[in-house]
Amino acid sequence: MIRGFASFTGTVALVAALGTGFVSSASAEPSFPADEFVAGNLVYVLMHELGHAQISERALPVLGGRDEDAADVYAITTMLAMGTTMSDWVLEQSAIGWFLLAKREERTRATLTFYDEHGLDKQRAYQIVCLMVGSDPKKFKQLADESKLPDSRRESCGPDYRNASYSWQELLKPHRRSPDRPKTRIDVVYGEAKGKLKVHADSARAMRLLETLADWAADEYVWKAPLTIEMRACGETGANWSPFTRKIVLCYELAEELAEVYRKYGKGMPIATRKSAPLSMAAFVPISSSALAK
Ligand SMILES: [Zn+2]
């Protein structure tokens, strides 16, 4: 079991309590607010970028050849190994995120780029659902039902999950930090944000989004040299890891894009609009000082 995001648990509760979170639209009447959806998806994106960092830092073999798939599988299996209410919730929000992006693609009649280095949005959504249900068919049955994942596929998701989880665990075993080893420095930077991006910068800061990930990654793994995790205005949407600057960059524009996708396409979607989410806010534990002091 990987040590979980104890403080992420409180992060979302915190942002909800502050009420100053990511933009949510009253007109869309979502059953859970856009800010929580955005926060969950940003955590997933950061874990995906950390997956790229793991691969390039440690020169890990990527069987199958696609870095993007490997980074997704890292994010998914790492959070499934945490097994907390929060990590499960992040994965669910991310699956919803990919489904909504696919919906946008369909509505705008975008041409599907089958040659892209990433899987198609819907495939990335189903990859999350499949590995979740593969790890625990009972726990994630509702999600699989609502995503209309066929029974035949659910059965093969078990071996998929075991392969994926085993592969990542084996590869990262030598790089896990034992308590007696010093922690690698991981800096966090929140760049300036203007206009409609400002609310996303403020929310991320209030949530300690980057600090939480940095603390966890420094606690969990030994790194070759210090890293940086930065949020900034990029002029376009996206996120990336650069092995040259040793930096993960998450663009504020991506938070805005997610909020917009949720507002436009979230309504009427079975998963995104269900009244009783299986992982309710009540299940979240507030931040404890011990979790932060770690
Ligand atoms: Zn990527």
Ordered by start, the domain boundaries in the chain are: 6-178+255-293
| Cα–Cα distance, 150 to 121 (Å, whole number) | 18
CA of 62 to the centre of ligand 1 (A): 13
CA of 125 to the centre of ligand 1 (A): 15
State the pLDDT confidence band at 268, using cuts at 50, 70 and 90: low
**pLDDT tens-digit series, residues 237-246:** 999 999 999 9
Q: pTM for this one?
A: 0.83
CA of 239 to the centre of ligand 1 (A): 8
The larger pLDDT score, comparing residue 224 to residue 36, is at 224
CA of 19 to the centre of ligand 1 (A): 31
How many residues belong to the chain?
294
pLDDT at 60: 96
Q: Of the given ranges (62-76, 109-123, 155-169, 207-221), which has the lowest mean pLDDT?
A: 109-123
CA of 72 to the centre of ligand 1 (A): 8
**pLDDT tens-digit series, residues 33-64:** 678 889 999 999 999 999 999 999 999 999 88
Q: Which residues are found with C-beta within 5 Å of the ion, ligand 1?
A: 68, 71
